[in-house]
Structure 1
Amino acid sequence: MYQPTSFRDDCLESHIALVRANPLGMLISHGDQGLVVDPLPFLIDADEQGHVHLRAHLSRANPHWPLLQAVQECLVVFQGLQGYISPGWYETKRQTGKAVPTWNYSVVQLRGVPRVTEDAGWLRQQLDGLTALQEGRQPEPWHREDAPANYIAAQMKGIVGIEITVTHREGKWKMSQNRSADDVDGVVAALRAGDVAQQQLADEVERRRG
């Protein structure tokens, strides 16, 4: 990933926070048939030594998981806050006209060694963890025990688990850090006047300004 110094973020806590806020990652592998890509919701964990692991599951009918048993490395990409930035928001545009459109975004790329598992205990832990992460936001959270046990057992037979030991990670937050203070002020003001997603992006631009 192209990484200008002003946009680079190697902080483990930043990476974990982005993944947990945006758990749907693009799993990318390469085999004899070329590139294979699947969107999957992931869980992320790090131990005290900073070793990172990703966990997910996918359908047994998906041909991606046999490929993962044969490859040495895969890539998962997580997209965070993002949005269009108009040159009309810059003070520079008003002063000199020397401004062009761009895009602000945050992204984390994690490379690692995949391991496929069909262990029932591992799968239950994965499903419970993913459910707790998402259902915790619901007014009446769903629990695995809410469904018939035989139904859950049948569903679990249709999936396989993936655990990825992360060997390399990169984070990039392109949030107008390369613009002047006046230009950043204009970007923040324009985004704050927009929808909820733009307002969230404004908060991140403000937080990341130099």
Structure 2
Amino acid sequence: MYTPAHFAASDEALKSLLNYSGAANLVTMTPDGLLATLLPFVYEPSVGEHGALHAHMARNNTQWSSHATAEALMIVQGEDAYISPSWYASKAEHGRVVPTWNYSTAHVYGKLVIHDDAEWLGRHVRRLSNQHEAGRPQPWTVDEAPERFIAGQLRAIVGVELLISRVEAKTKLSQNRTPADVDGVIAGLRASGDPASAADVERARTS
């Protein structure tokens, strides 16, 4: 990934991406060429030397059964947003501004391990659902569904674990703009109804 120094993700930004992003694209090279699947995941920092991403996919998805032993990639995407040049204070000063796109992303590489057992999958789906149900007024849990129903659902999926070997992460959040331009970006994002992206720019400025 091309990453100028001022867009390199901090350790805190990377941790946030891995812990709070909803899903990632798993990309693998197979005998049929590149395959990709968008998967909700959970970051498990205590697994392996560098942590792991745990996910699952449909048993009928051929990607899990045809994956090669080569390195796999999961592309984690954070908030992203169009940045209008009209938000920059420098537009009124000299006009030498163009549109751009702000985003946060991490390319997570590693070895893919397949888990085809109900015990691993049971732990995983509980961890995944609990992560996304947390904070809701009445959080749903796996145990609310009938046991036989859950057992059938687990038979229809397989677990995928990416044992992390390296990570390339980037946070392109207007760090190359003047303080006045950054103020304009934050105000513009908030006015356009994107407070999450505005908060990311604010955090990048203070980190």
Q: What is the TM-score when the length of structure 2 is the normalising length?
A: 0.93
* Residue equivalent to 1:178: 176
Identity %: 38
Q: Secondary structure at the match of 1:65?
A: coil
Q: Secondary structure at the match of 1:72?
A: coil
* Residue equivalent to 2:153: 155
* Residue equivalent to 2:25: 26
Structure-2 change in CA distance of 1:49 and 1:33 (3 Å): closer
Give the Cα separation in 2 of the matches to 1:79 and 1:207. Answer: 17
* Residue equivalent to 1:97: 95
Q: Give the gaps of 5 or more residues in structure 2.
A: none
Contact 2:48-2:163 within 8 A present in 1 as well: no
Q: Which amino acid aligns with 2:21?
A: N
Structure-2 change in CA distance of 1:49 and 1:160 (3 Å): closer
Contact 1:31-1:71 within 8 A present in 2 as well: no
Contact 1:10-1:170 within 8 A present in 2 as well: no
Give the Cα separation in 1 of the matches to 2:115 and 2:92. Answer: 58
* Residue equivalent to 1:9: 9
Structure-2 change in CA distance of 1:39 and 1:89 (3 Å): same
Q: Kindly state the Cα deviation for residue 99 of structure 1 after the two structures are TM-superposed.
A: 0.5
Within the candidate set 108, 119, 122, 1:121 is matched to 119
* Residue equivalent to 2:201: 205
Q: Which amino acid aligns with 1:3?
A: T
Contact 2:42-2:54 within 8 A present in 1 as well: yes
Give the Cα separation in 1 of the matches to 2:49 and 2:89. Answer: 42
Q: Give the gaps of 5 or more residues in structure 1.
A: none
List aligned pairs for 1:33-182, cutoff 5 A.
33-47=32-46, 51-68=50-67, 70-182=68-180
Q: Kindly state the Cα deviation for residue 86 of structure 1 after the two structures are TM-superposed.
A: 0.7
Q: Kindly state the Cα deviation for residue 50 of structure 1 after the two structures are TM-superposed.
A: 6.3
* Residue equivalent to 2:186: 188
Size of the aligned set, in residue pairs, is: 206
Q: Kindly state the Cα deviation for residue 206 of structure 1 after the two structures are TM-superposed.
A: 1.8
Q: What is the TM-score when the length of structure 1 is the normalising length?
A: 0.92
Give the Cα separation in 2 of the matches to 1:156 and 1:21. Answer: 24
Give the Cα separation in 2 of the matches to 1:155 and 1:116. Answer: 17
Structure-2 change in CA distance of 1:52 and 1:180 (3 Å): same
Q: Secondary structure at the match of 2:65?
A: helix
Give the Cα separation in 2 of the matches to 1:190 and 1:144. Answer: 41
Q: Which amino acid aligns with 2:154?
A: M
Q: Kindly state the Cα deviation for residue 10 of structure 1 after the two structures are TM-superposed.
A: 4.7
Give the Cα separation in 1 of the matches to 2:47 and 2:41. Answer: 20
Runs of 4+ in 1 over 6 A off after TM superposition: none
Contact 2:173-2:204 within 8 A present in 1 as well: yes
Give the Cα separation in 1 of the matches to 2:59 and 2:48. Answer: 33
